[in-house]
Amino acid sequence: MFGNLFAEEEDEDKPVGMEPFGQASRRYAPSKGTGPPAPRQASRLCGILNQGATCYLNALLQTLHHTPEFREAIFSLKPEELGSLEDKDNAGSKVRVIPLQLQRIFSTLLLLDQEAASTTSLTDSFGWTDNQELHQHDVQELNRILCGAIESSLVGTSGSDLIDRLYRGTIRDIIECCECGNVRELEEPFFDLMLSVCGADSLEEALSSCFQHVELMEGANCYHCTVCARLVAATKESKLRSLPPFLTLSLLRFNFDAVKCKRYKETGPFTFPLHLHTGPYCEVAKESEEFEYDLYSVIVHKGGCYGGHYHAFIRDIDGLGVWSSTQKQEEIVKKKESNLGPFPELDPVEFCKLVICQAGPHGLTMEAMCKTMQEVMGVSWKKKYRKQHGTLTKFLQAHPDMFIFNKDVHWISLREPGDSGNAGTINGSCLMAEECYRQNLRPHRAGSAEPLDQPNNNVFSVEDVWPVGGWFDFDDSQVRPISERELEQQFEGKESAYMLFYRKSTLKRPVEAFGNPWYKVPQNLTDEVDEINDNLLKRRHNHELQLNSINVSVHLSPHYELRDGGLQARSPEGDAALTMVLDRRMSVAQLKSELLQLLGSWMGHFEVGLAKHLPAGLHVYPGLCGDEQRTLVDCGIEDGCSLFVWDGQKVQGKTIPTGVDNEPVLLNLHRMSVVQPECRAFRKNMTLRQLRCSLARDMGVTAGALRISRGWPKVQVELTSRQDSETLRGLSLIDGDSLGLVVQGAKGDMVLAHTQTVMPGTLWIRVVDGLEDCSTKEGAGEAMVPFQEDTVRRCKKNPISTIKASAINKLQLDTNISDTCCLRVDAGTGLLLTPLSEEERAEEANLRNGCTLVLKDGVAPTADQLFLHFTIGSTLGSELEMIVDKSCSVRECLRLVLDKAGLTGCEWHLCRVSLCGQTQGPLQDEDITLEHLHICSGDHLHVMEGKLLPKGFLRLSVWLMEDGMRQESDKHADIQGIMGYEKLTKLEEVQISCQASLDDLKLQVMTLLDMEQIRVQSLFRLRLWLLEGKHYSRILQNSQKQLKKLGLCSNSQIGVQLLDKEETLRPTDMVLRLRRHIPGLRIYTKTEDLVFDTAQDCTARSLLLSVAMHVKLSAEQLLIAKHFPTTHEWLIIEDAPQARKIKKKRAKQNLRQFPYHLKNGDVIGVKNKQTDPSPDFSSFEDDMQREQIKTMAEQQRRQSASKDMSTPRSPRPEVPLSISVADFR
C-alpha cells in the first residue's frame, strides 16, 4: 500500500541533504580536488559518507555505534569465531562478513582521523548493488532487517544472544470473557514498539493507549470463547511483562487517507521526555530504578510522505567528542541584565572585562561572549566597535596582557595580575580536552585499570568543556554539537522525530571508558587504523607541499635590454630564464637569500620584481617592495609567475618604467602610402595628445594635420581632439589594435573613391569584361551601363539578352561572341554566381541598381538544366563547373564529371556541400534524379574519392585554427575567424573508429600537422574543438573517452588550436571567450581566451576576479555579462542578492546553474564602468537577430496553442530492502 513511500521527494523548500526524486546525488566529505580526505573537525567525531541515498543507514549505524554495550559486544567477538575477510571468497569457508565489517566501521568511527568514513564495504557485505544504494528506504524497516541479519550471522558464536540480550522484551496480552470469566493469556516478544502518533500528543499518552487502555470486544469484533463455544463480548488489555536494557520506539507518522486515496505524514505535536518512567505500563507496576530509561538517540525524518532525509541526534555517552556547554552559556546570558544593569558607555577593554568577570572566574566561549554583548548593548560588536577596533577576535589578541584567548576551543578568560604565562585560568580541563584530541594522546588504553586524573578544584570541571551526555547532530558526513533545546524542535513539523532510543538508567559506564576511543577495541583493528592514520598523515603532508609548491621563472637583468618599448633578450637564442621551485609560504627575505645563493657572482644590491611577458616584451612590476617578512602569496606570486632581478632602477644604463600604468601596448599603425603596417609599443598612461605629437614628429608633419582612426580598416572610428586628454588605457586600446594615420592634404594618404561622370539621377549596372580571349580596345576592361528611371523600368521588363548586347557594345567587343558568352553576378566575395539565363528578365534575376555583372565564356543554362559547381578531391573550391539536365541521375552526373575531369575508376561518390562550405553526407541512392534530391542551380557537390565508410568508422574534417599573425597564404583559408582567430585552414580528413579515444584522434591530427611542416611537441599542446557550421561548439575533453561518447559523428568538423604551452584541462577548468566592449560604440574587440578555474567555486565574484586579472583592471571597474547566442540576449553576471534575516543557510552561488548556465565556449562581454557605465551590452547584430526570433516564436506559439504538453509521470518502481546472510547453522 505504501509502495515507493521513501523515494526522494521533489520539494521546492526541501533542506540541504535531501536527494531529488529519480536521482541521488552523492555527498562527499569536503576534501578538495584529488587530495587526501579531510581530518576530523572541531567536534572530533567522525561522520559517514552518503553513498547516494543511504542517509537512513548512516543514522542507524551512528546510533548503534554510540550504544557502547552493542559496540563492545561486537568488538568482543574473536577472529576464531568470525573468520577472516581474506577467506570470504574461498569455496566452503564460512566467514561471518557482516560482524567483521561492523567491527571495521566501528573502529574507523572511533579512531580514524578522517572527517567521514565510508560504508561501501559494509553495504557490499549486505549484497547491495549501486542501484540498491541509490534508493532510500524506511529506517524502521532497516532496523528490523539488520537486527535479524546480525542475529543470523552470530549463530554458533559467543554473541548469538546479542540481539535478544540487548533489545528483546515481552508483551503479555490478556483476553477475559465477559460471560464466563475465562481468561486467555498470550505472551509475545518484541524488539521495538510501534506507537501510533495519530490521536496522541505525547509519548506517555501513546504508551498509555497501548498498555493502560482496556479494549471492549463486542459487535462485529466479538471474541470466540472456547469455554462458551460461541462469539461473546470480551475485554482485552496488554502489559509489558519484561523490558530490555535498550528500548526502541518507532513512531508511526505515515498514514493513508482512504477517503482521499492519498498518503500523508502526521506532523502534529508529539512530545517525548528525556527521562522515561515505564512502571505504569508494566505488568507489575512499581517504583524501581529498573523501570527508569534515559533518551540517548533520536532519528529524525526531514521531508514529507513521499521522501526526505534522515539524520540522528545522539548523546555522547562516553564523552568521545568535544562539546561546549551551550546550556551553561544560556544560563550566564540570562543573568547579565540584572548583574550589569543599564549599559554605560564604557571603553571596549573595560566592557570586555566586565562581561568576562560576570561569566565567572574561568571565562566563557566566544559565542557566549558575543551573544551577551548583543543582549546587553542592543547591537552587536560588529556594528558598534568593529569600524574603530576591528573584529572581536583581533581585538582580544591585540591585548594579550589582559585577555587569554584560546583559538582552538574559542575560550576567553581574564589574565590574572602578575601572570605572564600562557595558561591563565584555562590551564585545566580545557587544555586537557584540547591536547587529548589534537595530539592524539591516549588517556586510557583498553585493559588498563589506571583511572583518569581528576581536575583541580579551582578550575572548571570536565563537564563544562567536555561534558558527559553532550548531544550531537549526525547528518551524514557533518557532525555538530547541539543543545537539548533543539530536541524540542523535533516534536512536530516536516522535520520531526521518527525513532526514539532509550537506555536503562541503571546502565553505568566504567571510568576508564570516558574519553577513551581505544577502550576495548581489538589490537588488530587498532594497529590497522594506526597504519591508515600514518598514511593519511603522510598524504596530507605531501599534499600540503604539493599545493604550496610553485614554479617561477627568474630573469636576470644582464641578459636584457630596453628595445621597442619592452625588455628584450640580448641573446639571439631568445629568453634566458632560470626555473626555481619555491614554497609560496616562504617570506620575501627567504626568497632573496635563495636567489643570492643561486646567483653567486652578483655584485652589489639587487631587487626582485614581478615580471610578465607582454606582446611588446618583458614588463616589470614592483610587487616585492616593502616588508620582507611578507609571504610570496601575500605578494601575489603564484605558480608560473616570472621574477626579474635587477638593481631597481636601470637596465643596461636605461631607466625602466615599471608598474601597471607604464605597461606597453603594441599597436599596428597603418598609413595609406605604406603597404605593410608598422608595429610600435606605447605606454598605456600616454595621452592621445602625446601619441599624436610623437607620431606627427616621426612623420615630419604637424600634430594638427594628423588624423588618427581606430579599428582600421574595417570599422573606422576617428579619435578627435576632444579625446586628447584621455590615456590609451582609458581609450581601451589593447595589444594588436590597429590605428589608421591620415595626413590632411597629402595625396598618398587620402582615400580616392572611383568616380565616373554620369548624369544626375542616373541608375546603372556595372559590367566587367571577364573573357579569356577577346579583341578589345585598350583600356576598355569595364563599362557602366546607365539607365534612366523609365528606362530602368523597361529594363526590368526586358530579358537578360538585351543587357548582354548593350554591355558588348559598351565594351567594344565583337558581336559574334554573343552566342558563346554569358553574364554572371559578382557576389562581392571573389565568387561568381550562376550564369543568368537569357530567357529570364531582370526583375526575375533580382538585379539591383549598382550591381556588378561579369561577362564570362560559356553558355547559360535553360529552364530544364542545372548549373552546378563540383569540387574533386579533398580540397574545397569551385574547380569544375558543368551544366547538367535536371532529370540526370546521381550516377550519370558522377560519370559526366569524371569524364570531363579525365578521371577513371569506380571508387568515387558525390557529397553535398553546405552554404558554409562544409562537406555534408554522401548521396547514397545513385539512381535517384537530381531534381528529386532538390538540387538547384548554383549548388556545390563534392566528388570524394573512395567508397563509403564501413560501419563504425567516422570521417572527420580537420581544420587548423590560425591566428592573424601567420603570414602563410592558403587558398582554402577563406573562412572568417573563430575564437579571435583570423582564419581556418583545412588540413585533411581522417578516418577513425568511433571506439577510439580522444588521444588516438590527437595522434592522427599530429600526423597531419607534421605533413604541413607544423611541429607539435606533445598531445598536451593541442586543444580540439567541435565545429558546427564553421563556428565552435564545445571543447573535446577527457583524453581516454571514446569518440562516440564525445558526441562525434561522421563528417563532424574538428578545429585544432595550437597552444604555446602544454595544457591539461581539468574537469573544473572552463574556457571562456572574452570580448571587450568599445566605449561609445555597439561593437566589440577581437575575442580572447580565458581559462576559468572553478575548483574552489564558480561564483560571479570569482569570475569577475579572473577577468580583472586577465584584462589588468581592478574588479570594481568592470562589468561583465554572458551572451546567449540562441536568444541574442546579454545577462549581467553579478553576485546573488542576499535576503535579510533568513533562517536557513542559502546555497552558494553556482554560475553553472540557473540563470547563467555557464559552460565552455561561452562569450563574456567586458565593460569598463568608467568609460561606459551603461548596463546595455547588445550590438546591432543582436537587435536584428532578436526581431527574427520574435517572429518565429510567434508562429510557433500559434501552432502549439492547442496542444496539451502535460503528460503524467509514471511512478518509479519500488525496490525491496533485503540483506543477504549465509547459513551458519
The question of whether 55 is a catalytic residue gets the answer: yes
DSSP state at residue 157: S
Between CA 177 and CA 184 the distance in angstroms is 9
Q: Provide CB contacts within 8 A for 502, sequence distance 6+.
A: 246, 247, 248, 249, 276, 293, 294, 295, 296
Could you tell me which residues come within 8 angstroms of residue 388 by beta carbon, excluding any fewer than 6 positions away?
none
Cβ atoms of 518 and 526 within 8 Å: the answer is yes
SS3 697: helix
Given the residues 46, 55, 305, 430, select the one marked as catalytic. Answer: 55
Look at the block and give the residue holding cell 562581392.
828
CB count, 10 Å around CB of 212? 15
Classify 416 as helix, strand or coil.
coil
Cβ–Cβ < 8 Å for 842, 800: yes
Q: Where are the alpha helices (DSSP H) in 475-522?
A: 485-488
Report the candidate in 884, 879, 875, 923 with the shortest Cα–Cα distance to residue 901.
Answer: 879
Q: Are 435 and 470 in contact (CB under 8 A)?
A: no
How far, in Å, CA of 1029 to CA of 271, rounded? 67
DSSP class of residue 19 equals: P
Gyration radius from the chain CA atoms: 42
What is the tally of helices (H) and strands (E) in the chain?
A: 28, 55
Assess whether 1031 carries a catalytic annotation.
no
The rounded Cα 624 to chain-centroid distance in angstroms is 34
What three-state secondary structure class fits 246?
A: strand
Strand runs (DSSP E) across 540-697, as ranges?
Answer: 549-556, 560-563, 566-569, 577-583, 607-614, 617-621, 642-646, 650-651, 654-655, 664-671, 678-683
Closest to 313 measured CA to CA, from 488, 174, 121, 147: 488
- β strands within 428-494, DSSP E: 470-475, 478-482
Q: ∠ at Cα 310 (308, 316), nearest 5°?
A: 165
Q: Which backbone phi and psi does 349 adopt, to 5 degrees?
A: -65, -45
Task: Say how far apart CA 598 and CA 595 lie, in whole Å.
Answer: 5
| Pairing label, strands 292-304, 223-225 | unpaired
d(CA 520, CA 74): 10
Please state the φ and ψ torsions of residue 1034, each to the nearest 5 degrees.
-165, 165
CB 243 within 8 A of CB 165: no
- As to burial, measured by CB atoms within 10 angstroms (0-12 exposed, 13-18 middle, 19+ buried), residue 401 is exposed
Query: Which candidate, 310, 312, 203, 291, places its Cα nearest to that of 252?
Result: 203
Inter-residue contact 99 to 71 (CB < 8 Å): no
**Sequence letter at residue 919:** T
Helices 366-377 and 326-334, packing angle to 10 deg: 20
- Give Cβ neighbours of residue 1066 (< 8 Å, ≥ 6 apart): 1093, 1095
d(CA 975, CA 994): 28
Q: Which of 137, 309, 940, 1123 is catalytic?
A: 309
Bridge partners, residue 870, by sequence: 880, 941
Mind telling me the catalytic residues?
55, 309
